[in-house]
Structure 1
Amino acid sequence: MTMEQLDTSESATATYVYAVGRRLDPAALSGLTGLAEGFPVRTLPLGPLTAVVQHVPAAEFTQDAWQERLSDRAELERCARAHHEVVTAAAACGPTVPLALATLYQGDERAQQALGADRDRFAAALARIEGHAEWGVKVSLPAAAPEPPKSGPPRSGGRPSGGAGRAYLDRKRGLHQAREQHHDRALQTAEDIDAALSRLATATRRLRPHTQEMTGERHRLQVLNAAYLVTAEREKELLDAVATLRHRTGAEVEVSGPWVPYSFVGEV
């Protein structure tokens, strides 16, 4: 989030920045609502580069206003979707560096100064992602190894006999060991899948796997959440590899894309 101190008078506007690209056709932005109705989504020159921007009412986009949006899931999702829609339209014209949600400046001139100062970093990011798209891959496996039918230790007078007690403890230790081995195999499956897909990618990024609370799947464990920067020529190879790995490992392998390369533009 990049947000300067804004003039919040009733008629004041701020400049919201969506993305920076090299070849942006203003016609591709026609009809986009963006985050503020009544203000066109447009281009702003940055020397050899071009920013995609929009005037927004400054009073509605202060830091306090954004904090309210962050606490309102529906409103935050609306803003994220609007932001992504504009970035996607810009990316259809050529390589595009998406900026973070809530990148705001006092006005066009200030935006040109700040973004122009990072022109070399933008140019390097655009060169890195040109001709590429981002693909996401999530791998999930059963959360626990199958357990044999449960049976308690034989009892004698309410207490397990010596031999039965030892057998019971041995069984418990065996179950614990089986769980550990299952977890190790799951992690190794994730590493194998990541290694195979990484060979097809120009760059990769490992993201934090989603917890069972986030996925809502209590009986499955996500062991890989990764992004791959892939050229258009290798996209079919990637999809074929996913299908092969899914069959070979028995894992649930979810693939999504192609996306604008959000994960590979660096800190700009």
Structure 2
Amino acid sequence: MRQHDTEVPDANATYVFAVCRDPDPSSCAGLPGVTHEAPVRLLALDSFTAIVQTVRARDFTDEAWQGRLSDQRELERYARAHHDVVSAVGAACPTVPLPMATVYHADERAQEALAKESDRFRAALKRIAHHAEWGVKVYAPPAATAAPDDAGRRAGRPVVPTDRGRPAAGAGLAYLERKRGAQRLRERSQEDALRTAETVDEQVGRLATASRRLRPHPQPSTDRRVQILNATYLVADRRSEELALLTRTLRERTGAQIELSGPWVPYSFVGEV
């Protein structure tokens, strides 16, 4: 999060959601934004438009934000409000989202600061025009597991029932074979999963304009799936149906569970220019 020029706690401040070109004023009409005290509005820049809202400066001091960081519900409310505004505007025109809590002391300060980033905004808007961000998560197919006596059978030794309490001859060796067989299966499954992840990333990457590999997303404790790919792709709008078809084809070909999410405002691809 970034805060700027909020040294006068009792004054108003200008919260900036995004920068765009030729927005439809109706796209943000009626949105509550991060406060219900003032409407979300347009702020003209030299060659762009900022989407802003008047807020109380005291709500965006370092101390205030430190307090919100310890209040998960309140922090989520701000994040959702910020995202809702960016998404609404982004659905109508190419939009460069700004980080949550980008705040300036007044409209004039915001205009002055944002004007210094005109080259970055111009390059980013050109890059993402008629594109959207899509997320792809891939989970490994269920691993094959050996039955307790499979390793012994594969080794050519019959499994002989034994008297209770007395191990059969060669039982220790059979146990070791089973352990080794299970380990080989795990290693083979892991290698297959990594190849699947590379295949999906390569195939989707060919279709995309740009891509980013992300850290695996933490799974709930009740979810036993193993995530092998978490990536995001910048895809031209005209290729969205092609992306959906490719995803279905890869599911069938690899046997992996593939989750496709989007389209989103391309948050991941506006900071690289």
Give the alignment's TM-score, normalised by structure 1: 0.90
Cα distance in 1 for partners of 2:271, 2:217 equals 22
Q: Which runs of 4+ in 1 moved over 6 A?
A: 150-159
- Unaligned 5+ segments in structure 1 are none
CA deviation after TM superposition for structure 1 residue 216, in Å: 3.5
Give the match for residue 168 of structure 1: 175
Amino acid at match of 1:225: N
Q: Is the 8 A contact 1:4 1:106 kept in 2?
A: yes
Q: Is the 8 A contact 1:22 1:50 kept in 2?
A: yes
Cα distance in 2 for partners of 1:143, 1:70 equals 38
1:193 paired with 2:200, answer yes
Give the match for residue 40 of structure 1: 39
Amino acid at match of 2:243: L
Q: Is the 8 A contact 1:16 1:102 kept in 2?
A: yes
Cα gap change, 1:215 to 1:140, in 2 (>3 Å): farther
Cα distance in 1 for partners of 2:204, 2:248 equals 11
The structure in which a higher percent of residues are strand is 1
Q: Is the 8 A contact 1:142 1:219 kept in 2?
A: no
What do residues 64-97 of structure 1 show as CA deviations (whole Å, max 9, x unaligned)? 2122222222212211111111111211331100
What do residues 33-63 of structure 1 show as CA deviations (whole Å, max 9, x unaligned)? 1001121111112200111111111111212
CA deviation after TM superposition for structure 1 residue 3, in Å: 0.8
Cα distance in 1 for partners of 2:84, 2:28 equals 10
* Deviating more after overlay: 23-32 vs 94-103: 23-32
Q: 2:186 aligns with which of 172, 179, 185?
A: 179
Give the match for residue 28 of structure 1: 27
Q: Which has the larger radius of gyration?
A: 2
CA deviation after TM superposition for structure 1 residue 150, in Å: 6.9
Matches within 5 A, 1:228-243: 228-243=233-248
Give the match for residue 116 of structure 2: 117
* Deviating more after overlay: 65-74 vs 142-151: 142-151
Cα gap change, 1:267 to 1:69, in 2 (>3 Å): farther
What SS does structure 2 have at the residue aligned with 1:39? coil
Give the match for residue 4 of structure 1: 4
Cα gap change, 1:31 to 1:157, in 2 (>3 Å): closer
CA deviation after TM superposition for structure 1 residue 20, in Å: 0.4
Q: 1:244 aligns with which of 245, 249, 272?
A: 249
What SS does structure 2 have at the residue aligned with 1:253? strand
Amino acid at match of 1:53: V
Cα gap change, 1:226 to 1:132, in 2 (>3 Å): same
Cα distance in 2 for partners of 1:113, 1:143 equals 55
What SS does structure 1 have at the residue aligned with 2:30? coil
What SS does structure 1 have at the residue aligned with 2:34? coil
Amino acid at match of 2:65: W
What SS does structure 2 have at the residue aligned with 1:31? coil
* Deviating more after overlay: 228-237 vs 214-223: 214-223
Cα gap change, 1:236 to 1:161, in 2 (>3 Å): same
Give the match for residue 133 of structure 2: 134
Cα gap change, 1:159 to 1:64, in 2 (>3 Å): farther
What SS does structure 1 have at the residue aligned with 2:190? helix
Q: Is the 8 A contact 2:216 2:229 kept in 1?
A: yes
Cα distance in 1 for partners of 2:57, 2:146 equals 60
Cα distance in 2 for partners of 1:162, 1:145 equals 29
Amino acid at match of 1:248: R
Cα gap change, 1:9 to 1:135, in 2 (>3 Å): closer
RMSD (Å), alpha carbons? 2.4
Cα distance in 2 for partners of 1:45, 1:162 equals 86
The size of the alignment, in residue pairs, is 265
What SS does structure 2 have at the residue aligned with 1:209? coil
Q: Is the 8 A contact 1:15 1:108 kept in 2?
A: yes
